[in-house]
């Protein structure tokens, strides 16, 4: 067995946490009352004061966003994800710099952006609506 010394210790660069590690850290920072409030009623509160855990916000479910837009006097036309899954591509520049790859990527994103079963999975949603005359 080799004893660690300054000469034989290999330092690894700090690893950036992956998505699951971020979720575990996030959930463990909250008490039971607030842990799943985002999912329960859409209210995101940050009682920790830690800015890494996001600001106070309201997260819509797709069906509730449509309902809220109707209640505001608008007629929903379409509901789409904004930047569906593109945020997760670490090598997005490789796709963007190559016109053929960029078009394939954009074609995929266009198909996914309004897929009803995926609407709540993206980072943002947008409701396109019209104000009745």
CA-nearest of 63, 62, 30 to 45 is 30
**Confidence (pLDDT) at 18:** 58
Q: How confident is the model at residue 11 (pLDDT cuts 50, 70, 90)?
A: very low
**Confidence (pLDDT) at 121:** 80
**Confidence (pLDDT) at 22:** 66
**Confidence (pLDDT) at 92:** 79
This prediction's pTM = 0.61
Average pLDDT over residues 37-61: 79
The residue ranking higher by pLDDT, 129 or 40, is: 129
Task: Please provide the average confidence, as pLDDT, over all residues in the chain.
Answer: 78
Secondary structure string (H, E, C) spanning the chain: CCCCCCCCCCCCCCCCCCHHHHHHHHHHCCCHHHHCHHHHHCEECCCCCCHHHCCCEECCCHHHHHHHHHHCCCEEEEEEEECCCHHHCCCHHHHHHCHHHHHHHHHHHHHHCCCHHHHHHCCEEEEEEECCC
- The two structure tokens encoding residue 133: 């005359």
Percent of the chain with pLDDT over 70: 77
Strands 57-58 and 43-44: antiparallel
Q: What is the pLDDT of residues 64-94, one digit of tens each?
A: 899 999 999 999 999 998 876 766 667 778 8
Average pLDDT over residues 6-12: 46
Burial of 84 (0-12, 13-18, 19+ CB in 10 A): buried
Domain boundaries in the chain? Answer: 19-59
What's the full length of the chain, in residues?
133
Q: Is the pLDDT of residue 108 over 70?
A: yes
Q: Is the pLDDT of residue 20 over 80?
A: no
Note whether 76 and 69 are within 8 A (CB). Answer: yes
Q: Is the pLDDT of residue 14 over 50?
A: no
């Amino acid at each position: 067995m080799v004893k660690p010394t300054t000469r034989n210790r290999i330092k690894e660069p700090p690893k950036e946490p992956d998505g699951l590690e971020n979720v575990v850290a996030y959930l463990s920072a909250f008490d039971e009352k607030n842990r799943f409030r985002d999912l329960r009623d859409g209210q995101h509160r940050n009682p920790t004061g830690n800015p890494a855990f996001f600001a106070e916000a309201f997260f819509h479910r797709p069906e509730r966003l449509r309902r809220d837009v109707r209640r505001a006097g608008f007629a929903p036309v379409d509901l789409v994800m904004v930047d569906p899954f593109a945020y997760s591509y670490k090598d997005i520049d490789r796709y963007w710099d190559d016109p053929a790859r960029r078009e394939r990527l954009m074609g995929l994103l266009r198909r996914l952006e309004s897929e009803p079963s995926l609407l709540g999975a993206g980072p943002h949603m947008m409701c396109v609506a019209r104000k009745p005359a």
